[in-house]
Each structure stands twice: as structure tokens, then as C-alpha cells.
Structure 1
């Protein structure tokens, strides 16, 4: 039996979340709905212009790890923070959520990563991320015993931005596969796909990645088509298992000739879409590592995503296991 259900690898980021209107985005040159990489000077400028904000530990894969733990799963995490105030916040939060995290923090510069997230009245989030210490994640941060011990290693496509992280991912994937484990990735966002399309396709087609998570826009960007059906047919051929989210249309899971449609969770109010895909992956992977059917995995993902978009912040406030039991899913 594996020591961990899911090992997540990602950019360790503290989110700074504020409400704004579309005019603010336009005035400040922010691309709506995207993750925009920024430098330290731009980070300081945007922070100075933000309204009242909430600080919350985030980072895509960190959110997924927290979600797995909330379901009662055994989660571990690799990610780089600095030994500073925000690094302390991140470390405290992920430990408090029950995730095994022991990546050595960076001494001195650059500081811990932060993402200024502007949420418009429609619930859409526009992220402006200064990667800071994240760019220092490298092969020396890989813990081989955790890589071999997790049923599934899951990493975020955003990790292809800091160059040394690619080496860490490839090393972890090799260790995982040697131990008979599986490797999953999320495509992260359409702009990330545009930057690394060929590399992402190679990861899938070479078998480095076994499971892919994407939303419809990311998948269509990957295959440079406006046709959802054409892109779905292609991803079905390129990877062993794919889960594709479609916002209010739910999601669809494909494996070989198998196709499993998943209904969305009905919600009272859309507050903030930050973390929706991350929590979908958490629910799916929890079910998957417990041996549940693909339909049950998708339902757990839909539950977690539906709950997180009804709150501000990317990590679950409810105990997801209790919510799943109440819904009859576990």
C-alpha cells in the first residue's frame, strides 16, 4: 500500500485576492481570466492599487493537495518558498490542512511568490503572479521516497515557466514510474498551453504523463481548434486518461473508448472561480486513488469545484469528506 495517495508538485504561492471591476483590469493592462506572469516592480505597483484584500495560501497544485487532504486522503507536496513572512504563511497553512510538506525553504532572495488575483463581479479571476522563490525549485528538492511512495504524482503546467522545475518534474516522474506509480498533470491555462504546446504534447505522447486535467479552452488551445469534439477525440488518442471540465456544463472523462459525462454541482451563487479546476482534480484524484469508478471520481471533482466557487479563496473551508458523505458520494 502506498504511503501517499497523491503527491502534488507546484508553484508555492500566497494569493492576495481583491474585488474589482472590468474597468480596473483595462486601466491596468490586466488580461481578464488569465494568469499573467509579472516581475517584482509590477507586483509592487499592482499591490499598491488593490482595494481591500484577503491573503490565502494558494498555488494550483497546493490547492489540489489541500483538497485531497480535506477528503481524508494522504497528500504530500513539493514547492519552494523563501524563509520570510509569506513563506511562513504558506508553510503553516499547508501543514494545518494535513499535507506532508518539507521542501527546504530558500534563504534570502528572491522572496516567496505571490499572486495578485482580481475578481470581477462575474466571478472570473485574473491572476498576476510574481514567481519569486518558485523559480528556485530544482532536482535537489525532489524527495525520492515520496516520489516512489505516492499512487499518483500530480503537477501543474505552470511549472514549465521556471526552467529548473522541469528537471525536477522529469526526475520525479521517472522515480514514480519505476515504482509502478502514475503521473498526472493539469494544463493550467490556455496561455500556458500556448507557451509550451509541443512540450506538453510530448509529455502525453511519450507516456511521461498518464492522466491529464484540462478545461475546454485549454484542451482546444492544445490542439489549436475551436471544435470541442475534435479536441476531445485527439486527447483521447494522446493520453491514457483525461478529465475535461466545462464550467456550467459539468465535465467529461475519456479513457480509451470509454466516455463518462459528469453533471455539475448546482450552486446558489458564483462568487469566485479561483481554484475550481484545482479542487476538481482533488476530488477526482481522491476517488481514483480509492479505486472508485470514473463516474464517482468525476462526481467528487464536481462537488469540490462547486463548493469552492461559492466562496472567496482557492482552498476548501468545508470538510470535503463530510460534504461527500452527506451527498452520498463516499
Structure 2
């Protein structure tokens, strides 16, 4: 019996989720994660945030598009929304950020010169912005800048250049829909795990990416089962819940690949939603005094584990350096929460190859 094909999200649904999260953070200081939206037919999917950034006058949130089993060129693309306050009475203005195209020919459902953000995604974003404004006392006067990482490059594989949409992709979708891969249940179980640990009086918990790292953390610190959090790929969910419901000490434990993503600022560590950045690893090598030849070999490495082995042979502690960068990412998400963080990096066999904190 054949398995039904898995549906995916439209770029419009992803942009709506990112915009909703960003405007909520702009008004409240906190990003909802996962962020739930309502699609045109009433479905209520939730999206994990892959990145978030809050500065004085702007908030940025990003999600990774999951196209399901559709061979979509935008599958895995990082779609971000930066929301800024607009002038009183200005309403919602849309701006094409990097990777989003601009309409240059008539005949599309948008005027020439407009960002290639189609009418239904615009309507969805406006509705969600209005709801957030009503809930948190905002005016709803905002500028929304939508960006797609590598969007200009991806757009060359689409019909956009022929249609006169230049500079990037279109933000599309009429239903937004799909049968979701739902991260809500997993994130909810992480939160409940923290609640249980706190209720049991645990002063030290471990967020682990898998069973091997969980075993290492338990043995290393003598942690009981109710102090072990099945973090999986959702590092952001652990850190953000602990920010509001602190435990005195957190250990983050995982493989070199996933924790190098955390070191690079990713909060969602899934292979389909974030990638290891060899350039970042090479930069760590250089900043630690490694020579250019080693940095070059790390840049060309097949995997983070391969890069680690190259550095071990050269006597450079890449595992410790990645652990420290990952720790700094975690501390940044925790903000002022009274949580001391340490990081344990392991290889596939469960050997500890890096520690920090």
C-alpha cells in the first residue's frame, strides 16, 4: 500500500508566521515559539522559529519552509520577516527584502514596482498583524520586510524572470495549507518536562539532542531521568521556556554537527531547517590561531565531524571552541534568566570531544 504524499507549507504561510512572531516580539519583547497562525480555510498550524532578533525599533523572525514531499525549489528556504513601527495612520506597508522579487511587468495581480508578495499572503499578514495589535495594544501601523535567504539564486530556477519578477522569489499561496509536520507536540513535551523537573526540585537539567547525548549527560552528572529533557532539534524551545521558568543549571549536550549549528546562531537544529556552516568553523579555526592551510581544509570538510578530526590531528580544540560558541548562543537566548549553562559536545560513539562552561 503506498504512503500518501506529505503536504507542505506555502511561502505565504511561512511569511505570515514569521511576521506574526516578529510583531508580537516588537510589542511585547518576547517571540512566540512555536507561532500559531490561522490559514484561510481555518486550519491552525504552528511553526518553529529558526532565527529571531530584537533591536530597538525592529523585530525579525524567520522560519524554514517545509514543502513536504513536493519537489519545490523553496523547500528548506529560510523565510524571514522584519517588522518596524510605521508612521501613525500609515497602515501596513510591504517591502521586498533580500531574496524577494519586485514586479517589473504588468499582468500580474500586483502593480509594477510592488514587492512580489501576492494578495492572499498580504491579506493573511494584515489580518494577523491586526489581531496582534488588538491583543497587545499596538497601532497596526507597520512596515513588513520579507526576505528569503538565497532567494535570488533560487528564483533563477522558477518562472519569475520570464514573468518580470526580478531580484528574487515570489511570496505565494492561496490556501497556505498543508498537512503540517507539527512541532507543537514536541515543544509542548519539552515544556512539560521542564515543569516536572522544577516541581521535583531539580536544580540541574540537561537538554539533549538524542539518546547518546542523553546517556552521556546522565552519566557525567549523575542526573535522574526527570532532569533529562528530550530536546531533539528544538534548542530554542528549551532555552526560551527556561528563560521564563528558570532552573539554576542547564547542560546542553549533543553531537558536533547539531551543536555547531547552535554555535552559528540556529535554534532549530533539524537537518532540513538548518545546515552546518563550514565558513563559520573555518573562522573559529583562524580566530584560535590555526593556520590558513588548516582553515582551508576545514572549509572543504564534508561534515562537522570531519572538520573536528582534522583539527584534532592538528592539535586545535575545535570541539571546545564550538561548545563555547554554542554556550554563548544559549546565554543570549536566556537573556538575564538565572540559568548557568554548560555545553557538552560528543562524537557519534558518545566520546566527549568538547566542553564549555
**Fold match (TM-score > 0.5):** no
Larger fraction in helix? 1
Based on CA coordinates, which of the two structures has the bigger radius of gyration?
2
Task: Give the structure, 1 or 2, with the largest relative contact order (CA under 8 Å, sep 6 or more).
Answer: 1
- TM-score norm. by structure 2 comes to 0.25
